[in-house]
Chains A and B, each alone.
Chain A
Amino acid sequence: MPLHEWCEWLQHTHFATMITESEWLFPLIEGSHILALPLSVGMIMIADLRLLGLGFCGEATWKFVPRFLRLSRIGFPVMFLTGGLLLITQAAKAYGNPFFRAKLIFLLLLGINAVVYQKLFFPKMAEWDSAGGAPAGAKFCAAFSLVIWIGVIVCGRTMAYQF
């Protein structure tokens, strides 16, 4: 089955229509998706700002950054769960939406960026502060993360206008 037909089917399953037609379920899921932002993306943004040397310099990078990456683990499960549910209810509409497609590509890029950071820079973080801040490569990852996360939020908000 082609993907768009599958999306069409998904959107019209009993489960999806139950959420769409519920008076309180859809607002609750959508609200949770938005209000999990500070507990997920927001924490990543703080870590990015620290890596870029733009704030929060009261503690060594190798201590500070992992703390915030850990905090983001509160919000991301909520994000993916509610995002998945929202997608099910609007799969066919989302399929053709350029902003939704951009959002997915951005999320994929952020995943790759996170793996690169984890592999290349994370193990050596403890050595940084004596050598004067994060290396250029780590700063690039942080700037990339910050900009693309902003893109995800902008696309997520804008896709609602294109339906």
Chain B
Amino acid sequence: MHLLPLLQSVSNWAPIVLVRDSKFGMPMVQSFHLLGLTMLLTTVVVLNLRLVGLGLRDYALSRLAQQLKPWTVGAIVVVMASGLLIFLATPGKYVDSHPFRLKMVLLCSALLFHFTVLRRFTSDHSVARSRLVKVMMACISLTLWFGVGWAGRAIAFIP
């Protein structure tokens, strides 16, 4: 594979070496990753709970979706930036990891689902749909996002 040597030369780039080899570099980047994850999954959970009508019923769905969006997008930027840095610091840990590959597939699916299907269900112009369909949408969304988290955790335990 030609990818690993290229990634390893990136991982020897001075700013990345600085983060990797300083005592608190990686813990700080990992902490940002975890804080971003917390905010991201929180906004996703809140949106899905409201979608299926569990709590926050007086809060208009489209308005809540609008107000959650900057926090979701901000959190995605934080997790992606910190995640990229973690990946580039030690690419050897990730390129051949099966859980990592699964995580990337789930991440792409979750992002796609969130900003296409779920967005349509939570926007102003959303057509009235049966509760069953909404529950199914929420289940798919939560499975995908929490799947990303579980696959991420599995990287440390499964090759």
Binding site for B on A (CB under 8 A): 27, 30-31, 34-35, 37-39, 41-43, 45-46, 55-59, 63-64, 67, 70-71, 150, 153-154, 156-158, 161
| Closest chain B residue, CB of each to CB of A71 | B55
- How far apart sit A41 and B40, CA to CA, in the bound complex (Å)? 12
Out of A55, A58, A153, name the residue touching B59 (CB < 8 Å).
A58
A58 lies within 8 A of B60 (CB):
yes
**Chain A neighbourhood of B58, CB < 8 A:** 59, 63
Answer yes or no: B45 CB below 8 A from chain A CBs: yes
Contacts between chains A and B (CB distance < 8 A), count: 88
**B: interface residue count bin:** 35 or more
Interface contact A157-B45, CB-CB below 8 Å: no
**Interface SS of B by simple majority:** helix
B24, CB-defined interface residue at 8 Å: yes
In contact, B146 and A35 (Cβ under 8 angstroms): yes
Chain A residue nearest to B41 in the complex (CB): A38
Residue pair A39, B45 in contact (C-beta under 8 Å): yes
Task: Find chain A residues with CB under 8 A from B49 CB.
Answer: 71
A49 to B46, CA, bound (A): 14
Interface 1/0 per residue, B15-33 and A, CB below 8 Å:
0000000001011101100
A126 and B123 alpha carbons, distance in the complex (Å):
30
Contacts of A43 in B (CB 8 A): 42, 46
Tell me if A153 and B150 are in contact (CB < 8 A): no
Contact indicator A150/B153 (Cβ below 8 Å): no
Is B135 part of the contact surface with A, judged by Cβ < 8 Å? no
Nearest A residue (CB) for B33: A157
* A30–B149 alpha-carbon span in the complex (Å): 12
Contacts of B64 in A (CB 8 A): 56, 58
Q: How far is the CA of A71 from the CA of B24 in the complex (A)?
A: 34
Q: Quote the shortest CB–CB distance from B152 to chain A (angstroms).
A: 9
Q: Which residues of chain B are within 8 angstroms of A38 by Cβ–Cβ distance?
A: 37-38, 40-42, 44-45
Contacts of A57 on B, CB cut-off 8 Å?
67
B63 proximal to A (CB < 8 A) = yes
- If A30-B153, A58-B59 touch, whether A158 touches B41 (CB-CB below 8 Å) is no
